[in-house]
C-alpha cells in the first residue's frame, strides 16, 4: 500500500488543504501511518492527538488515530482544544514522544490541516517532505497501538495561572479586560481561565463554531478586532485580547482601541522580562519594527532578527537559549517559566503580568511607543518558480551598492528614512513586502525603492492578496 498526497498540501510548517478537494480522511490516515512509522524508527511510541472546532476535524481525527495505531504507536486523545493545549500535553508529559493537532488555524472554514511535534521539536520543512516521500513509497511500520483518552484542560489552565503567582494580588484585582475567542478552539479553556483570574473579565464568542459566524478568526487583521474594540469602548475596559482559530496567535488592543501589533507586544514582554533576565537574547522575525530591536537594546537585552515562521523561530530559540521570541503574525514564544511554544492564552496572562509588574497600564505602555509610520504586511502574487529567484536578483543588485542589507530572510534594507523588506513566502506563491519610516514622506521613498527593485525584475506590486 502507498499513498500520494495532493501536491499543494505539504507546506513548509504544516500540512494544510481544502476538505473534499485536496484533503480528506485517506490523507489523515496516511499522515498517521507515516508519522507513526518515523517516530517508532526514532525510538518513540506514544503520540498525543488534539483537534480544533472545525466541522471536518472529528472526521480527520478518527482517521489520523487509525493510521497512528496501525503503525504501532499508542495514542493519547486529548480531544477538542487549542493547539497550545496539544503542545502542553506533549511538553509536560515525558512519556509522550510526539503530538499532532488537527487545525485549519486562521484559514477559512473549508480548510483544515495538521501541526506536528516530534520528540520535543517542531516537525517541519524536510520532515514534511520526507513524510510525503515515505507515504508515496509505502515505507510503513506495522502494529496495533492502543488508544486512551485524557482530559488535560484543567491541568493546562492551572499551569498558565502560575505566571501570576509572585505578583501582588491588588495590582491584578483592579484590571478590567475584554477577550474575544472568535468561536475558535480556545473558547473552552478561556472560560476556565478567566473564572480563576483576578479582576473583571468580559468574553466574546467562546462557543466553538467551525463556521465562524461572527468574524474571521485572524486577530492580525484589524477589521476582525471590531467587536472587541466596541466591547472595550462600551465597558471602558483597560485592554482587549483576541485569538486566532486554534489559539496559538494573539491580537490585542489597548484601552483607547489602538491595535498592539505583534512586535509591540514583544516590546512590553521584553521590558518586563529584562528586569530580571538582563542580557537575554530576544528573537523577532524580519518583519518586526526597528523600534522593537532598539527597545530590547535599551533595556539591556540582546535583540536577534530571525527568519519568519513559527517552526524556524522555535528552533532558533532552542539553539540560542532565548527566553522570549515572537513574530508580527502574533505567535509569541515564552521559554521563561514556560515551554517555548506559541500559546496565545498564556501570552494573554503574561500581558496581565507585565502590566502589573511594570506598574503601568497597557494603554500607557502602548502610548509610550515611538510613533512610526509603517505599511501592513503586503503580499502579492508571484509565480512559484519566480519568487525565490526574484529575491536573489534583488540581493545581487544591492550587493554592488553601499546599501545596508540584512539577508537573514529575503532582503531587509535600512536607509536614513527607515527600512524596507522583500521576502518570498515559504507557504504561498507570493512575495511579502513591508516598510517603516518616521514620516509619510520617508515611507513613500522606501516604497519607491521596493517598486524600483520589483520593476528591475519584471514584477510589480499590484493588488495585495490574503494569507
What CA–CA distance (Å, rounded) separates 348 from 201? 12
Locate the DSSP E strands across 221-270. Answer: 239-243, 250-254, 259-260
The backbone torsions φ and ψ at residue 243, rounded to the nearest 5 degrees and listed phi first, read: -125, 160
First to last CA, the chain: 35
Is position 105 annotated as part of the catalytic site? yes
Beta carbons of 183 and 55 less than 8 angstroms apart: no
> What's phi and psi for 409, nearest 5 deg?
-155, 95
**Beta bridge mates, 114:** 15, 102
Find, among 307, 250, 248, the residue nearest to 427 by Cα.
Answer: 307
Q: What is the DSSP letter of 335?
A: -
Q: Distance of CA 218 to CAs 140, 182, 223, 252, 256, Å? A: 37, 8, 9, 12, 21
CA 257 – CA 238 distance, rounded (Å): 10
- Out of 105, 311, 322, 329, the active site residue is 105
Enumerate the active-site residues. 105
Amino acid at each position: 500500500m502507498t499513498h500520494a498526497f495532493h501536491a499543494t498540501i505539504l507546506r513548509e510548517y504544516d500540512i494544510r488543504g481544502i476538505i473534499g478537494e485536496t484533503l480528506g480522511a485517506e490523507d489523515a490516515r496516511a499522515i498517521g501511518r507515516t508519522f507513526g512509522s518515523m517516530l517508532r524508527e526514532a525510538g518513540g511510541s506514544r503520540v498525543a492527538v488534539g483537534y480544533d472546532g472545525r466541522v471536518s476535524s472529528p472526521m480527520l481525527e478518527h482517521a489520523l488515530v487509525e493510521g497512528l495505531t496501525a503503525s504501532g504507536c499508542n495514542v493519547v486523545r486529548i480531544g477538542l482544544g487549542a493547539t497550545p493545549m496539544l503542545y502542553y500535553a506533549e511538553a509536560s508529559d515525558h512519556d509522550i514522544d510526539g503530538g499532532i493537532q488537527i487545525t485549519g488555524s486562521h484559514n477559512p472554514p473549508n480548510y483544515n490541516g495538521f501541526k506536528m511535534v516530534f520528540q520535543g521539536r517542531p516537525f517541519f520543512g524536510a520532515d514534511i517532505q520526507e513524510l510525503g516521500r515515505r507515504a508515496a513509497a509505502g515505507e510503513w511500520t506495522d502494529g496495533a497501538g492502543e488508544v486512551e483518552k485524557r482530559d488535560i484542560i484543567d491541568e493546562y489552565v492551572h499551569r498558565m495561572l502560575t505566571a501570576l503567582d509572585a505578583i501582588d494580588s491588588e495590582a491584578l484585582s483592579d484590571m478590567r479586560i475584554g477577550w474575544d475567542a472568535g468561536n475558535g478552539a480556545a473558547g473552552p479553556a478561556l472560560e476556565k481561565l478567566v473564572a480563576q483570574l483576578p479582576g473583571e473579565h468580559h468574553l466574546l464568542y467562546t462557543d466553538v463554531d467551525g463556521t465562524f459566524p461572527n468574524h474571521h478568526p485572524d486577530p492580525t487583521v484589524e477589521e476582525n478586532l471590531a467587536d472587541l474594540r466596541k466591547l472595550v469602548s462600551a465597558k471602558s475596559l483597560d485592554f482587549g485580547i483576541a485569538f486566532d482559530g486554534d489559539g496559538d496567535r494573539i491580537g490585542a488592543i489597548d484601552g483607547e482601541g489602538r491595535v498592539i501589533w505583534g512586535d509591540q507586544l514583544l516590546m512590553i514582554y521584553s521590558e518586563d522580562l529584562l528586569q530580571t533576565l538582563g542580557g537575554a537574547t530576544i528573537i523577532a522575525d524580519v518583519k518586526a519594527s526597528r523600534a522593537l530591536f532598539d527597545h530590547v537594546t535599551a533595556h539591556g537585552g540582546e535583540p536577534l532578527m530571525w527568519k519568519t515562521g513559527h517552526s524556524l523561530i522555535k528552533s532558533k530559540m532552542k539553539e540560542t537559549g532565548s527566553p522570549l521570541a515572537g513574530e508580527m503574525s502574533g505567535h509569541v514564544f515564552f521559554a521563561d517559566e514556560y515551554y517555548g511554544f506559541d500559546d496565545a492564552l498564556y501570552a494573554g496572562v503574561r500581558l496581565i503580568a507585565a502590566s502589573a509588574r511594570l506598574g503601568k497600564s497597557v494603554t500607557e505602555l502602548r502610548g509610550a511607543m515611538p510613533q512610526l509610520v509603517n505599511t501592513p504586511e503586503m503580499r502579492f502574487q508571484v509565480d512559484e518558480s519566480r519568487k525565490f529567484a526574484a529575491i536573489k536578483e534583488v540581493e545581487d543588485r544591492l550587493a554592488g551598492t553601499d546599501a545596508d542589507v540584512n539577508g537573514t530572510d529575503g532582503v531587509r534594507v535600512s536607509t536614513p528614512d527607515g527600512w524596507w523588506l522583500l521576502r518570498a513566502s515559504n507557504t504561498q506563491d507570493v512575495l511579502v513586502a513591508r516598510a517603516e519610516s518616521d514620516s509619510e514622506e520617508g515611507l513613500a521613498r522606501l516604497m519607491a525603492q521596493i517598486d524600483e527593485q520589483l520593476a528591475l525584475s519584471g514584477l510589480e506590486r499590484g493588488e495585495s492578496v490574503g494569507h
